[in-house]
Amino acid sequence: MIAVIGDPETATGFRLAGVDKVYEPKGGLEGETVRLLDKLTRDEVALIIISERLAAETKVREKINEINVNKRGVVPVIVTIPDKKGPMKTEDEIGILIKRAVGVAVQ
């Protein structure tokens, strides 16, 4: 199962693509996003796609790191994507996941 957490434009795009579990955090974005990550992890969602700007918030980043450290196996895979404002300068999430899985950095 796939879930998406993002701004209204990102959410609309994924809804149009047929994704059922699409969330737009309201109000206190950081706290709401952390609660959504907890819920999706408990629901055993295999792939969580989250916009970079939401993932860059301190508590959200800490929660993502906690999920990645405590997960058994490879799920959930959490991938950050750029929003309508474009990509942020961040570390390569996919590259990190590949390095963890196979033990070699892929360039």
Interval 22-72: pLDDT, tens: 999 986 678 999 999 999 999 989 999 999 989 989 999 999 999 999 988
The number of folded domains in the chain is 1
- Out of 6-15, 22-31, 77-86, 95-104, pick the least confident: 95-104
- 88: domain CATH number? 3.40.50.10580
Is 29 inside any structural domain? yes
Question: What single string gives the DSSP state of each residue in the chain?
Answer: -EEEE--HHHHHHHHHTT-SEEE---SSHHHHHHHHHHHHHHTT-SEEEEEHHHHTSHHHHHHHHHHHHH-STT-SEEEEE-BTTB------HHHHHHHHHHSS---
Is 80 inside any structural domain? yes
| CB-CB contact of 77 with 97 (8 Å) | yes
Is 61 inside any structural domain? yes
Interval 10-25: pLDDT, tens: 999 999 999 999 999 9
Is 55 inside any structural domain? yes
Full domain range(s) for residue 79:
2-102
Is 107 inside any structural domain? no
